[in-house]
Amino acid sequence: MTISHPPVSRRARTAVAICLATVAAVTTACSSPSGGGGDGATRTVTLSVSTGPNSPAGIEAAKFAELATGYTGGKIKFRLLLQGQLGDATSILQGLQANTSQFFTTGVADAVVPAMDVMFLPYMFASQRSGFEAARSDFARTHIWDAFEQKGLKVIGFVDNGGYAGLVCSKKVDSLAAFEGLRIRDANPKVGDDIYKALRTNPTPIGLNEVFTSMSTHVIDCVETAPPTVVSLKLNETADYYIDPRFTLYIIPMLVSKQFWDSLSPDLQQAVQRASDEAQESQFATEAGFYQSGLDSLEKLGMTIVRPSKTELQPALQGVYESFKKREGIGADLVDGMVGAAKTTNDQFPSD
């Protein structure tokens, strides 16, 4: 899913500018081929992000690149490619598998490992931190993320790409009954269709470049997106309401080419992993505030934030769990195990 973001605070913009300047400076000095050379050689690698520099993913990617360059003593330096500069997600994933590109954050990695979709079950996580800790649990690693290695990829961390999924709507949707009959363009049909059908809506496939016109002409009633995308697509000009049910989190993996990873010495692998872990922790410290600031920006634009009752909606969505248990590549054991992992992290992090 492609998510763009509005400007953040001056402090955040400054931090990103420093990170990007650091990455640009070290990249200019590099001459070794991408992914080539031994441990004594400098390697220039690509780091692709589908969003812009001021997005949560863009901020974390810049921080990761800065840290990894430092911790490897300059042996690995990064070309940071934003907003699809290297192509679409499918071509970049293929590039990682062939080691023609090296690092990528993406929300459509379920095309490679369908089990990843279990992370998007509705209301599974009590907070953003709970979702990330569950993603990093031993159960998730052994039952979801390790499967990427069989596909030529490796997961070294996670990015929150915009907080919770919400809805821009032309109607006030404040109850279960209000969802019935709505025509909704969901961001990830592999997950969203089951959720919205359970709410008796009509999921409607619309290309992202057609969303503004489709909302303006009432071809659809709602668009699933994170708050920042509302501004970038000017959807606030087409609708008065932002529905904030907090069904699912935008949790996406940081992927690395397994060929490239295996070519690194244990010391370099450890340095890159350390950079990923620290970049995640840096993002965790600010992410909840970033999401809320996105909602605040919508209110300043005149939109009304509507929060339907979780108590009312959650029972209607229990059937989604049963549907996922029957899916090829997921199954009951994976769903039940992930729910168990989420219960543990929900107890530790019960709210944002």
Q: Where are the domains of the chain?
A: 10-161+251-292, 166-247+296-348
Percent of the chain with pLDDT over 70: 87
Q: Is the pLDDT of residue 88 over 90?
A: no
For 255, the 3-state DSSP assignment is strand
Q: Is the pLDDT of residue 20 over 90?
A: no
Show Cβ contacts of residue 210 under 8 Å, excluding neighbours closer than 6 positions.
Answer: none
Domain 10-161+251-292 in this protein, CATH class: alpha beta
Torsion angle, alpha carbons of 293, 247, 177, 241, to 10? 20
**Mean pLDDT for the chain overall:** 86
Q: Is the pLDDT of residue 230 over 70?
A: yes
* Confidence at residue 310, expressed as pLDDT on a 0 to 100 scale: 94
What average pLDDT does the segment 173-202 reach?
A: 93
What average pLDDT does the segment 126-130 reach?
A: 90
Beta sheet of 304-306, edge-to-edge order: 202-203, 183-185, 222-225, 166-169, 241-243, 304-306
* Confidence at residue 286, expressed as pLDDT on a 0 to 100 scale: 66
Burial 107-146 (b: 16+ CB within 10 A, else e): bbbbebbbbbbbbbbbbbbbbbbbbbbbbbbeebeebbbe
Q: How far apart are CA 31 and CA 26, in angstroms?
A: 11
CATH topology agreement for domains 10-161+251-292 and 166-247+296-348: yes
What average pLDDT does the segment 226-237 reach?
A: 85
* Confidence at residue 149, expressed as pLDDT on a 0 to 100 scale: 97
* Confidence at residue 28, expressed as pLDDT on a 0 to 100 scale: 35
* Confidence at residue 22, expressed as pLDDT on a 0 to 100 scale: 40
Residue of higher predicted confidence among 68 and 33:
68
pLDDT 10s digits, 258-300: 999 999 999 999 999 999 999 988 877 666 567 888 899 999 9
What average pLDDT does the segment 17-31 reach?
A: 38
pTM to 2 decimals?
Answer: 0.82
Kindly report the three-state secondary structure assignment for every residue of 157-195: EEEEEEEECEEEECCCCCCHHHHCCCEEECCCHHHHHHH
Q: Is the pLDDT of residue 51 over 80?
A: no
Residue of higher predicted confidence among 20 and 168:
168
What average pLDDT does the segment 146-164 reach?
A: 90
What DSSP element (H or E) covers 23?
Answer: helix 10-28
Q: How far apart are CA 79 and CA 296, in angstroms?
A: 33
Percent of the chain with pLDDT over 90: 64
The CATH T-level fold of domain 166-247+296-348 is: D-Maltodextrin-Binding Protein; domain 2 (3.40.190)
Give CA 4 to chain center in angstroms.
12
* Confidence at residue 24, expressed as pLDDT on a 0 to 100 scale: 39
* Confidence at residue 37, expressed as pLDDT on a 0 to 100 scale: 52
What DSSP element (H or E) covers 129?
Answer: helix 128-135
- φ, ψ dihedrals at 48, nearest 5°: -100, 135
What average pLDDT does the segment 213-219 reach?
A: 96
Confidence of residue 86 (pLDDT cuts 50, 70, 90): confident
What average pLDDT does the segment 87-102 reach?
A: 92
In the block, tokens 């909606």 appear at 313
